Structures are given as C-alpha cells and as structure tokens.
A and B are shown apart, each in its own frame.
Chain A
C-alpha cells in the first residue's frame, strides 16, 4: 500500500476548508436510519450502530444498560470472548461498545480491503445478532463492575457527581449513574441482561453511522447487513421531560481528603434547545474556555483558590445539566463557592462584554475545522446529529449560527434559563 503524503494532506485539507462534511441519509429496508459520510484518502472505515438503550432505559435496574453493553463481545455465534478478540485482531480491526445516559453503541474501525472488512463485519453482525450472555462471562463482568463501583466510593470527585445528578434529577431516569449502583448490579442475572438486549437492541431502535473510504453503494450494503439479523421490535417510549425545580439544594458530604470537590449547577438545556447557541457561546466566556474564562479569572488568576475552575452545559435528549466545578483546599471552600456564585450572578445579570464575545466567536469558529479533522472525530459528530435528529447541515451552518449570537441574546438566554438563587451546590471533602 502506498499513499502519497502530499496528496493525502491536500485532500484532507481541501475537504475541511470547503464544506464541513456531506452527510448522506437513508433508511435500511427494515427502516433503521443510516447516516453516511464518504471520506477519501485512507483505506479505512468507521462504523457505529447506536441504540436508544442508554442508562436512561435502566428502569429500576440501575446499571443494566451498561452491563449489557459490556457483555456483548464476550460471546456470540459459537465464538468465545477470546475468539471474538482474535477475529478482530487477525484483520487489524478495532471493536468498541459503550453507553451514556441517552444511548448505547457498538463501534468498529476496519481497513476497507474486502477480505479484512468482511471478516470484521461478520464478527460485528454476530455480536449484534446473537450475543450469548454466558453465565461465566456474566459473573466475571459483574464482579469487575462491582469492584469498579466500590472503587468509586474512594473518589470524592465521583461522589460529588453522583450526588449532583441525584439532587438535580430526583426521580428522572437521568438521576442515577450509567454504571449503576452496588445495590442493583449485585442483584442482576444473565437473564436480566438478555431481556434488556431483546427489548432495546432491535431494528426500530437502531441507527447506523458510517464514515470512511467506501462508496455509498457499499455503505448501503454494510448498514443493511448489520441490522438484518435483529428483531424488528418497537421504539421505546419517549423519555419523560425533566422537571426544573424552583429551589436549590446545598449539601456537604464529609470525606477524608485535603481538597474539597465542588459541583454547582442546575438543569440546563437539551440537544435541540432554541437557546443552544447563545448558551453555548455565553458559557464559553463564563467558564468554557479554560484559563481565560471568567470563572478561571476570578477563582484562579485573581485569588489562587483552585488549579482550575470551569463550567459547561451538557445537552442531552432531555435537558442535561449546567455544571460549574472546581477543587480547593478544604478551608477555602466557602470562599470559592461564594466567588463561583457571584461570578455566575454577575454574568447572568450583565452578560459578556462585546470584546469578550468577539474573542469567543473567533476562538470557536477559528478552531471549528479542527473538531472533526479526523474520521474518529467526525463520526462522533455524525452520530450525534443522527441520534438526536439534528439538521444534516448542522456542521455546515454551525459557524454562521455562532456568528449570529449577540450580547443581548446571551443575556436574554442566561437570565431566562439560569437562576443563581436556585443553584444546587454539592461539596465533598474534609473540614
């Protein structure tokens, strides 16, 4: 195999400078949506099959989506876990699987040479179609998961995050951690996982995303073959709306550490939020741009209270959280929290300066092409667009939409959406 490097670089460069990415979209014969971007220059392809089977679908079995996903490649067809790993390895393919609150995915990266790709695809099909959920593999993964969950109790950062989501989301399916809790996971059986798989890993709940050096024809075949063996199933019910509480909870968890972890925030926005761009650009200035953000300026540069301080919106299918975070020496916690609160309050009341907005826009639009200048980064965006049903020209119009944000639109969006008086504040650390 020979690739001329000069031409390769030219191809990649010219692609990103003209159009962000041309996403093609269709449905398989069975009705699963497919999203495809053809990229040329490297004989490789990235494939992802995404299901609405994240931890928000756990019900009361917290952690079942995650454990189901972890078991997928431990046995399928008549292959053992080792044989599956060997099948992928022998053709240089990489398999992955994982869950978030909103979804579960399996991913494959393979070379496009048919001999190699075919074996990788065949293995992936097997995993999707006939995962075994063997008792021995199940017990091993369960023990591993439980060990991880116990380990979490030793991390003040993880404890803060657990409590933060619990406080924000109450009885909403986003409240519990994707990996589950010891009390629920220890009660699972392999049969529970099988039932979860049967319900959610179905055609009507699948989306296929393909990015790479294959023709549309080939992409159609690949997508078709991956969902062909799955049961038709039904689309799960739409997740319930998040209730935004009109109060804030402050809670401290004692932990034998010299640093205190602070998380403060409230319910933020969803993926299709009308205020998305104003909140996103505004947050970039408030706490999303690293050391030059306002939070970092107030907490770190002016007062030396923390190594870093940040804020972000984490948009989900339903409203995800708005989070501010920092860690500080135990005796400085109260001061750090006050600075955090005041910085947010001032931003919500006054918005950013025109100068800060111009700088933020330049930073966001200037670095935009670099966010998907590789296939692996691009497939993340295409998966997001596909799963959340965002417009196919989302990437093409992104910079324009950033440019359209004004000081007034940021001020308006922040004052409607964030209520500093209802901030939830979780601290974990020593006295």
Chain B
C-alpha cells in the first residue's frame, strides 16, 4: 500500500500529467471557486482570511486566472521540489478494540450554545 502511494508520487515527479487531466483539474478549480461564492458567509470568510494572512483581499480575483496558467512542467517541478523522501511523515493507525460509545444525537432542536 505504502509502496503504491509512493509510486504515484514518483510518477508525478517523472512524467508530465496529460493535457486532458490538467484541463479536468482546472475546470474543477474554476467550478469550485464559483460554487463557493454561492454563500455570503463564505465570501466574507475568504476575504477575511486573505487579509488575515497578509495576502490581501484583492488576490481573490487572481486565483482562477493563475491556476489556468499552470503547465504540466510546473506541476512536475513542484512535485520534485516538495514531495521528497526526507520530508515524508507517515502515520500508521493500528485497529483498536471498539468500546461501546454513547450515541450523541444530532441536535435536531437547534444549535449548541457554548
């Protein structure tokens, strides 16, 4: 399993992703950037977040354009630069016996006040 996952990373570093695959991902980036804005709450959060981390809210309009400019070569180069063995962390989760849990309800009556 671990080997198979690493193989995928290796593939990304050694081969160029196909134009078709790149287009598919770009379409999804564009779509989710639009769909996300179907919420005043999310728009406010996005602008606030960009300001908070010091990027500036104006960047929000550049996101999709910039994603569209990305080439297969750039994807490969980034994979080579960052997805390196020395920086790899692996977590293993060994199955534990299941304790009987108390069932928490969905709070159908309203939201939880803290």
Contacts and interface: CB of A to CB of B under 8 A. Distances in A.
- Classify the secondary structure of B's interface with A: helix
B38 A374 contact: yes
A310 B110 contact: yes
Interface in A59-80: none
Contacts of A1: 30, 34, 64-65
A307 B64 CA distance: 45
A116 B40 contact: no
A307 B34 contact: no
A12 B40 contact: yes
Interface in A284-308: 287-293, 295-296, 307-308
A42 B38 contact: yes
Given A156-B103, A291-B110, A3 B38 contact: no
Contact of B103 (A111, A157, A309, A310): A157
Contacts of B72: none
B50 to A, nearest CB: 11
B71 interface: no
B78 interface: no
Contacts of A109: 35
B31 A325 contact: no
A90 B30 CA distance: 11
B98 to A, nearest CB: 11
A109 B32 CA distance: 11
A91 B105 contact: no
A310 B111 CA distance: 11
Given A296-B110, A310-B110, A90 B23 contact: yes
Contacts of B110: 289-293, 296, 308, 310
B109 interface: yes
> In which size bucket is the chain A interface?
35 or more
A266 interface: no
B70 interface: no
A92 B38 contact: no
Contacts of B32: 92
Contacts of A93: 31
Interface in B1-43: 20, 23-24, 27-32, 34-35, 37-40, 43
B91 interface: no
Contacts of B35: 44, 94, 109
B107 interface: yes
A289 B113 CA distance: 13
Contacts of B29: 92
29 contacts: A1-B64, A2-B61, A3-B37, A5-B61, A12-B40, A13-B40, A42-B34, A89-B27, A90-B20, A91-B27, A92-B31, A94-B35, A111-B30, A111-B31, A289-B110, A290-B110, A291-B110, A293-B109, A296-B110, A307-B104, A307-B105, A307-B107, A308-B110, A310-B110, A312-B108, A327-B105, A373-B39, A374-B38, A376-B38
Interface of B: 20, 23-24, 27-32, 34-35, 37-40, 43, 47, 57, 60-61, 64-65, 102-105, 107-111, 113
Given A1-B64, A4-B61, A312-B108, 10 more contacts: A5-B61, A13-B40, A44-B31, A90-B24, A94-B35, A290-B111, A293-B109, A308-B107, A325-B108, A375-B38
